[in-house]
Amino acid sequence: MNQVYISIGSNLDRSRYINQAVQSLDELFAPMDISPVYESEAFGFEGDDFYNLVVAFKTDLPLEKLHQTLRQIEDANGRDRTAPKFSARTLDLDILTFGEHINHQKPFDVPRDEITKMAFVLKPLFDIAADAIHPELNQSYQTLWQAYDQTKQPLTLIEFQYT
């Protein structure tokens, strides 16, 4: 079994799609740890603010099958794959880490470099896995968050209601 961390983001009908993503993942992978939800500005394009969070669970699925499963959840929730990479989206599910695996061959970029570059990824990861160790950097997420310039990408904690 691999410990997996998945980032979830949405900036279109955010509450609806975050709820649907968490419900779909919970049905497949419970039990899960779920971080708080944060609101952040769109990155790389002009658009509505995103809701972001991270979930953690264990799975015996191979990396390829997990990736395929996440894409199916995105597609079932109206993800437009013809849109530019940096654009509004109903749902974005990214594998942040997959056990101790290191693979930077597309489409399986794990661990994702966004972990150390984006507050909306690192902060929720820190919230649920502060003592876990980044598989490539060999540092805890607590250490990485404490070293991160927390002023460069403001986050707003959302009192999120799951339905």
CA distance 82 to 68: 17
Domains plus CATH for the chain?
2-158 (3.30.70.560)
Q: What's the pLDDT tens digit per position in 39-83?
A: 999 877 778 999 999 999 999 999 999 999 999 999 998 877 776
User: What local confidence, expressed as pLDDT, does residue 82 receive?
Assistant: 75
CB burial class (10 A; 0-12, 13-18, 19+) of residue 105?
exposed
User: Two tokens at 83?
Assistant: 């849109």
User: Two tokens at 93?
Assistant: 């599910």
User: What local confidence, expressed as pLDDT, does residue 142 receive?
Assistant: 98
- Cα–Cα distances in angstroms (integers) from residue 134 to residues 23, 59, 86, 143, in the given order: 27, 18, 26, 10
**Amino acid identity, position 110:** V
CA distance 4 to 125: 11
Q: What's the pLDDT tens digit per position in 76-127?
A: 988 777 766 767 788 999 999 999 999 988 878 999 999 999 999 999 999 9
User: What local confidence, expressed as pLDDT, does residue 45 receive?
Assistant: 74
The three-class DSSP label of residue 124 is helix
